[in-house]
Homo-oligomer: A and B are copies of this chain.
Amino acid sequence: MKIILDAMSGDNAPLEILRGAIMAKREQPENEIVLVGDEALLKKVADGNNLSLSEFEIIPSKYTVSMEDPPLSVIHEKKDSSMGIGLKMLSQNEGDAFVSAGNTGALLAGAMLIVRRLKGVGRPAIGAILPLANPVLLLDSGANITVSEQNLEEFALMGTVYMNKIYGVESPRVGQANNGTEATKGLPLQIAAFERLSANEKINFVGNIEGKDIPFDACDVLVTDGFTGNMILKLAEGMGKMMLHTMKDLFYTNALTKFTAGLMKTKIDDLKLRFDSSEHGGAPILGVRKPVIKAHGSSDAKAIKNAIYQASCFVESNINGEIEQLIESCRSKFGK
């Protein structure tokens, strides 16, 4: 398998990206990793940090898509960027998956326009695993700020396959984020989506999920528009961070509490992991023809390594094939 890695994008690029690639290669030596970036710079940074890039192919790129660049820059003025070239390679079968910690909007636009949508998918979506006790895949987590009820149904199908293949959930429970549990709650979008999700027998729809129930294992896949999804994801992350701050503060009360915290280290570390977005690797862009993984902008080496691992699982478990089949089997309902 060959994973294409955007070596230039993200807050900590290129150093942490290179370190992540080296960690990934050590864990899965059977996978090839191709670095896309400014060759001279990558070599200089590697040399300056005693890293060897001898195991990697490097594909040179001229530019980097910045966080401020408009989404479409990746197919226009910055098509020769690390992101643009990586996506192009992916679309031309010069690799099996692409990982980037860069500009989300540009990565999504590039995934749609260069890699192209899977057959039958109206809107690709960015999935994110919420930082909770149990993994909950949030779709869409920010890509499409407005969606249709059919898009939400597609998200449900794509999320079902992903949670089954990557997390081994037998029959993933799908919920819709809403302001009440009743079928009549929400905006016209949620009301229409409730009907579609209930009627589709390929979806294990467990109903509307209120904010208060999201942290308590209410579902495995949570579908919503990207505006609400962004709010849910970011607020959950923020609350988790606040929680860790508060606990730190609590344990710094005095010497005994510090000592006790030492004894509970394993449990506290578990908790940190739970709220640590780098643990889940990256966010998959679901609904495009080949796997594209969006790593967190602030990814460190471990996060990059996990995102590469996730990309390899995505390829191995043939998620895209399963999604196409599942959507095809529902096609008559979509009226296509």
B-binding residues in A (CB < 8 A): 132-133, 142, 145-146, 177, 179, 186-187, 210-216, 226-228, 230-243, 246-247, 249-250, 253-254, 256-257, 260, 263-264, 267-268, 271
Contacts and interface: CB of A to CB of B under 8 A. Distances in A.
Contact of A234 (B210, B226, B239): B210
Contacts of A246: 133, 243, 271
Given A242-B132, A247-B247, A187 B227 contact: yes
Given A179-B230, A227-B187, A231-B228, A237 B250 contact: no
A139 to B, nearest CB: 15
B211 A232 contact: yes
Given A211-B234, A256-B263, A257-B264, A216 B187 contact: no
Contacts of A253: 263-264, 267
Given A146-B187, A211-B238, A233-B211, A264 B243 contact: no
Interface centre among A145, A238, A249 (most CB of B within 10 A): A238
**Which DSSP category, helix, strand, loop or mixed, fits chain A's interface?**
helix
Nearest to A227: B179
A27 to B, nearest CB: 30
Contacts of A187: 145-146, 227
Nearest to A238: B212
Contacts of A216: 238, 242
Given A146-B187, A179-B226, A179-B227, A241 B212 contact: yes
A51 to B, nearest CB: 32
Contacts of A179: 142, 145, 226-227, 230-231, 234
Given A242-B216, A256-B263, A264-B257, A186 B235 contact: no
Contacts of A257: 260, 263-264
B228 A215 contact: no
Contacts of A232: 211, 231, 235
Nearest to A105: B180
A30 B231 CA distance: 45
A193 to B, nearest CB: 14
Given A145-B179, A211-B238, A250 B264 contact: yes
B267 A239 contact: no
Contacts of A242: 132-133, 215-216
24 contacts: A133-B242, A179-B226, A179-B227, A179-B234, A211-B233, A211-B234, A211-B235, A211-B237, A212-B235, A212-B237, A213-B238, A215-B235, A215-B239, A231-B232, A236-B239, A239-B243, A243-B243, A247-B247, A249-B267, A250-B264, A250-B267, A253-B263, A254-B263, A257-B263
B268 A250 contact: yes
Contact of A145 (B186, B213, B214, B243): B186
A234 B132 CA distance: 15
Contacts of A215: 235, 238-239, 241-242
